[in-house]
Structure 1
Amino acid sequence: MNNLTPRELEMLARRLEPAIRRAFEQAIAGVRSQAQLETLADLLRAGQVDAVLEALGFDTEVFSPLAESVRQAFVAGGDAGIKELPKLSLRQQVRGGYNPNNPTPALRFRFDMRNRGAEAWLQENSSRLVTGIVEDQRQLVRQQLVRGMATGQNPRQTALELVGRVGETGRRSGGVVGLTAQQAQFVANVREQLAIGDPGQMAGYFDRKRRDKRLDGIVTRAIKAGKPVSEVDIDKIAGRYADRLLALRGENIARTESLTALNAGRDEAYRQQIEAGRLAPENVTCGWDATGDARTRASHRAMNGQKRRFGEPFQTPSGALLRFPGDTSLGAPAEETIGCRCTKTYRLDMAAEVTRGQ
Structure 2
Amino acid sequence: MAETMNSPMEIDEGFLPSKSPTNKGKSVISEVSSKSTPWVEKYRPQSLADVAAHRDIVDTIDRLTNENKLPHLLLYGPPGTGKTSTILAVARKLYGSHYQNMILELNASDDRGIDVVRQQIQDFASTQSFSFGAKSSVKLVLLDEADAMTKDAQFALRRVIEKYTKSTRFSLICNHVNKIIPALQSRCTRFRFAPLDATHVTERLQYVIKAEGLDVTESGLAALVRLSNGDMRKALNILQSTQMASPHVTEDAVYLCTGNPMPKDIEQISSWLLNESFATSFGCISNMKMRKGLALVDIVREVTMFVFKIKMPADVRVKLINDLADIEYRLSSGCNDKLQLGALVTCFTYARASLVAAAK
TM-score by length of 1: 0.21
The one of the two structures with greater contact order (alpha-carbon pairs below 8 A, sep at least 6) is 1
Larger-Rg structure: 1
Q: TM-score, normalised by structure 2?
A: 0.21
